[in-house]
A and B are shown apart, each in its own frame.
Chain A
Amino acid sequence: MRAKPIFGKHQLVPGEQRVFTSDNFSLGVKRTKEGWVLLYQPDTENGPDFSEGEYFHTGKSNSLHIIPALPEKPLVFKGSRLHVSTGQKLTFFLTIPLSVQVYFSKVQQENLLKEYSVTRLSDTWFGEVFNGEPAFALGQDFTMSPEEKETTGMEAVCPVVIYNNSPGVLEVQRLIIRCENMTLHQNEGSIITSSLLVEYKGKDVISSASYHYSKIFHGEKPEILARPRNETSRNLLNINFHFIRNIYKHEL
């Protein structure tokens, strides 16, 4: 696992241009007198053609921040191969594709120039058709240890802990991961999201979820790469598990 050094603060003087590349992401940046030209996926063989780029008039600051970000919608993990017995705690790891945010001067919302989704995840729906919420589909792949799967510089590892505090066996069908509440940490070259701890209390009881820092997963002194998009925790009161029903049973 490794994190490419494109993330962080960069200084470009007027007239200077640079191409930042990491795995399948490439961004051409040109500093003008009072702004920036950004060119997504530039032609690296013949050199970037900045006349096709987008211009942002921002002022005199020569600082540019390239920051990793988690997807803007929650993610739905299809865990239909996972079963957790009563009183058991299951820990597994997911791989989440990252987006890239570009800020000028300082990392603050009003200074965001552009956000690039490097991997387009498929749209999905979490919950019932009349009251669920939009999300991205994360698929069903998981690993039991973070070392099992090599991640790219454009992916983050998400540790998930499910504690089954219900009287029956939990068959994880759909689990929502609210990445807007997650922080991105960097530890020994890996990008790791906040750890998700979900306590399952039964089908008819709302389970509790928390997103937090854990010394086991994030190390002693991890560097914070990106803060959560949403600092409030009101959305954590929503459902975390969804159990699939055949909605076409009565289709005529």
Chain B
Amino acid sequence: MNFNWSEYLNADTLEKFIKVLIILAAGITIIYLIAFIVNKLLPARWSRQRKMIINRIIQYTGFIILFFVVISEMNINLAALFGAAGVIGLVIGVASQTSIGNIVSGFFLVSEKSFEIGDIIRLGDKTGTVFSVDLLSVKIRTFDNLLIRVPNQTVISTELTNLTRFPIRRVDIQVSVAYKEDLTRVKTIIENVTGSNPLCLDEPNPLIIFQSFGASGIDILVGVWAERSNFLTVKNSVFQQIKEAFDKENIEIPFPHISLYKGEATGPFPVEVQQKADPPERI
């Protein structure tokens, strides 16, 4: 088979190739430059996510324009290309169903504004900071510094909790006290603890609910409000202070225990104490 290389590798082709390279280099530089300048000009109060979307729009539009400029420079017949696009589109469409689903889901996610870059979200059993919202996926940085990529379609179909949407959060702590304790006194002690912690918000008032007569003691829910940035500090300090206050006031925090009864409902289970047999003598 005689292939005539000179038909393709000639001065004319080389000139076109160099021209295309220059257009590509200049085009890419201009696209990134415009994106950079626009990013700088956007109001500082705008969220990172909004800025990122505008940035992406500029970049994607720029690359589409650049693509057509290169195609026309290479004298490729666009009509034929579009003619073939019907068949190619069908093939690509079938092959990239998931990707297209993710792109569409991405648009819904962005328009819904359930979260933004920098928010802390819980998605299924994963919790972390939103690192980026991309065309196909949302990337989450977990607290142990792992990057999780979650496809947009999964994000849209999964229950999502935004932990930092509102400026304050309630820190719920479960406490249990023994049945013998005076609940009014217990409540006062907890109120004193929450009242003396400067990081616990004065308002909204702390919530103290006697929840249930539990298996080992009376379960109490203590809910204190804190600014979201102080969430962990408040959780730890209130927990620690309640324990210290209960110890000081001799309030018993029960642990699981079982009472055994024999026959009648309240009769104690008979226990016989026997002297331990002497160990056999050594020979």
Residues of A bordering B, CB below 8 Å: 76, 120-126, 129-130, 132-134, 137, 174, 244, 247-248, 251
Contact = CB atoms under 8 A, between A and B. Distances in A.
A123 B167 contact: no
A137 B207 contact: no
Nearest to B195: A122
B204 A123 contact: no
A248 B203 contact: no
Interface in B173-229: 195, 198-205, 207, 209, 225-227
Nearest to A120: B198
A174 B203 CA distance: 10
Contacts of B225: 125, 129
B253 interface: no
B201 A123 contact: yes
B207 A123 contact: no
Nearest to B204: A247
B168 A129 contact: yes
Chain B contact residues, majority secondary structure:
loop
B166 A129 contact: yes
A123 B200 contact: yes
Nearest to A245: B204
Contact of A122 (B198, B207, B209): B198
A134 B167 contact: yes
Nearest to A247: B204
Contacts of A129: 166, 168, 204, 225
B209 A123 contact: no
Contact of B202 (A123, A130, A133, A248): A123
A174 B209 CA distance: 26
Nearest to B197: A122
Contacts of A248: 205, 207
Interface string B34-57: 000000000000000000000000
15 contacts: A122-B195, A123-B200, A123-B201, A123-B202, A123-B230, A125-B203, A125-B225, A129-B166, A129-B168, A129-B204, A129-B225, A137-B202, A137-B203, A244-B203, A248-B205
A111 B205 CA distance: 39
A125 B209 contact: no
Interface string B13-25: 0000000000000
Contacts of A133: 167
Residue from B198, B199, B209 having most chain A Cβ neighbours under 10 A: B198
B191 to A, nearest CB: 13
B168 A125 contact: yes
When A and B form their complex, which 4 residue pairs have the shortest distance between CB atoms, in order from nearest? A124-B202, A137-B202, A122-B198, A125-B201
A126 B195 CA distance: 17
A248 B172 CA distance: 14
B236 to A, nearest CB: 16
A125 B204 contact: yes
B30 to A, nearest CB: 38
Contacts of B201: 122-125
Nearest to B166: A130
A247 B166 CA distance: 15
A214 to B, nearest CB: 30
Given A132-B167, A134-B227, A251-B209, A121 B198 contact: yes
B162 to A, nearest CB: 12
A251 B207 CA distance: 10
A126 B167 CA distance: 11
A131 B227 CA distance: 12
A44 B200 CA distance: 33
Contact of B227 (A121, A123, A137, A244): A123
A130 B209 CA distance: 23
B151 to A, nearest CB: 30
Contacts of B226: 123
